[in-house]
Amino acid sequence: SNDSTFREQLDAKVQSSLCETEISFPPYGTEELQKVLEQRADIAFHQSALEEGVIPLCAALGRQDGGDARRAITLLRKAGDLARTENAESVTTDHVERAQEKLEAQQSMDIMRDLTEHEQLTLYALTTLAAEESTPARSRVVYQRYKELCEYRGRDPRTARRMRSFLSD
């Protein structure tokens, strides 16, 4: 798995019976990502479909995201999808930048969707304080807002300590 913490999420019985060998691969560098993207682009796109600078930008953004080749390939594909939707003659760096924004927004949505209700309420407490320009805020202020939101939603708040653990996660 690409998730180095996935074992921690397994049941204790599964963990004890798991005969594992951990293999760690270093992240790809920009040049390596560029080569991977060029190989994929040769297969997926017509000769003149990519403007100069598209692959280097995808590789650089992929490197910033931890050197994940799948993410860089997805970025190139999404940029191509945007260009096709717009009936553009070629994929531009603007398409790449907009695809990056969409991927980041989707990633944020995925993260928020995976939060528990109380983690979401903690995040919402912080968000409302930020909207009021009351950040940075002390944890007791965040906890007070969190409790108000729990009361509004008819939920029993977790302890202040537990809410702080949500913040550190």
Q: Say whether both 98 and 69 belong to one domain.
A: yes
89, 113, 137 - which closes a domain:
113
Q: Say whether both 137 and 78 belong to one domain.
A: no
pLDDT reported for residue 4: 62
Q: Say whether both 59 and 82 belong to one domain.
A: yes
Q: What is the pTM of this model?
A: 0.68
Q: Say whether both 64 and 108 belong to one domain.
A: yes
Let me know if residue 73 belongs to a domain: yes
pLDDT reported for residue 3: 63
State both tokens at 71.
């993410």
Q: Say whether both 61 and 106 belong to one domain.
A: yes
Res. 26 pLDDT band, cuts 50 70 90? confident
Angle between helices 93-114 and 69-85 (to 10 degrees): 120
Q: Say whether both 45 and 99 belong to one domain.
A: yes
Instruction: Tell which residue, 80, 77, 159, has the closest CA to residue 122.
Output: 159
State both tokens at 39.
């190989």
The 10s digit of each residue's pLDDT in 41-97 is: 999 999 899 999 999 999 999 999 899 999 999 999 999 999 999 999 999 999 999
Let me know if residue 9 belongs to a domain: no
113, 128, 146 - which closes a domain:
113
pLDDT reported for residue 2: 60
State both tokens at 116.
């528990």
Res. 36 pLDDT band, cuts 50 70 90? very high
Cα 136 to Cα 141: distance, rounded to the nearest angstrom: 10
Let me know if residue 55 belongs to a domain: yes
Let me know if residue 40 belongs to a domain: yes
Which domain CATH number covers 48?
A: 1.10.8.60
Q: Say whether both 80 and 93 belong to one domain.
A: yes
The 10s digit of each residue's pLDDT in 94-133 is: 999 999 999 999 999 999 999 999 999 999 999 999 999 9
Res. 6 pLDDT band, cuts 50 70 90? low
Q: Say whether both 63 and 134 belong to one domain.
A: no
**Overall number of domains in the chain:** 2
- Assess whether pLDDT exceeds 90 at residue 167: no
pLDDT reported for residue 1: 54
Q: Which of 9-18, 29-38, 91-100, 101-110 has the lowest mean pLDDT?
A: 9-18
Instruction: Tell which residue, 60, 52, 53, 104, has the closest CA to residue 78.
Output: 104
pLDDT reported for residue 83: 98
97, 113, 129 - which closes a domain:
113
Domain assignment of residue 124, given as a range: 117-168
Q: Say whether both 36 and 104 belong to one domain.
A: yes
Neighbouring CB atoms inside 10 A of 60's CB total 15
State both tokens at 17.
């019976």
Cα 4 to Cα 25: distance, rounded to the nearest angstrom: 11
